[in-house]
Amino acid sequence: MSTFNKWEHLVLKGEFPERKKILSGLSLEQVTRKLSLQLHTIYDELWHIAGWQHIVINNDTELDKKWQEGNVFPEFQAATQAEWDELVKKFLSDLDRIVEFTGSKEALSEIGSDGISVEDNLYALIVHNTFHLGKILALRQMMNAWPPKE
């Protein structure tokens, strides 16, 4: 019998489809398709959450500065399937890093320069990821690309 891991549940698998499944089986054409002027592409959404996730877990002040200037979505779409696949791989790898990191209660209780605990920042990141992953799932549904073909 496996033990329940709250962080694995929140970051990787729980409450809605596994994050890996949400991003699986997509072609370059699908991830770069713009369904309307108001919507981002799937690539835009993942690029955005992967970037913010990188800022949060690496305390990347240089990239954060660019985001504060409004550079929060990509200028261009992925040009190749390999570029998309690499973004997915990086995003999922960083999710695994988050779960691994959460094994340290001391690290979670540290207070950042913003006065907020690492744990609370991770909760905020999870909410942010969830919002954008939901948008990705909705875009897939609009394209008849959900569920992914196994």
Tens of pLDDT, residues 20-59: 999 999 999 999 999 999 999 999 999 999 999 999 999 8
For 2, list phi and psi in degrees, rounded to 5. Answer: -85, 155
97 within some domain:
yes
Asked if residue 7 lies in contact with residue 95, where contact means CB atoms within 8 angstroms, the answer is: no
Encode pLDDT of 74-90 as tens digits.
999 999 999 999 999 99
Per-residue pLDDT at 18 exceeds 90? yes
Answer whether residue 91 is part of any domain: yes
Any domain includes 4: no
pLDDT of residue 112: 84
Q: Which domain holds residue 62?
A: 28-142
Answer whether residue 15 is part of any domain.
no
Q: State the total domains in the chain.
A: 1
150: in domain = no
Q: Flag whether 6 is in a domain.
A: no
User: Does a structural domain hold residue 43?
Assistant: yes
pLDDT of residue 39: 97
Which are the contacts of 104, defined by CB distance < 8 A and separation ≥ 6?
A: none
CB 36 within 8 A of CB 66: no
Is 3 domain-assigned? no
119 pLDDT above the threshold of 70: yes
Q: Which residue has the higher pLDDT, 104 or 92?
A: 92
Q: Which residue has the higher pLDDT, 106 or 114?
A: 106
Q: Tell me: pLDDT of 2 over 90.
A: no
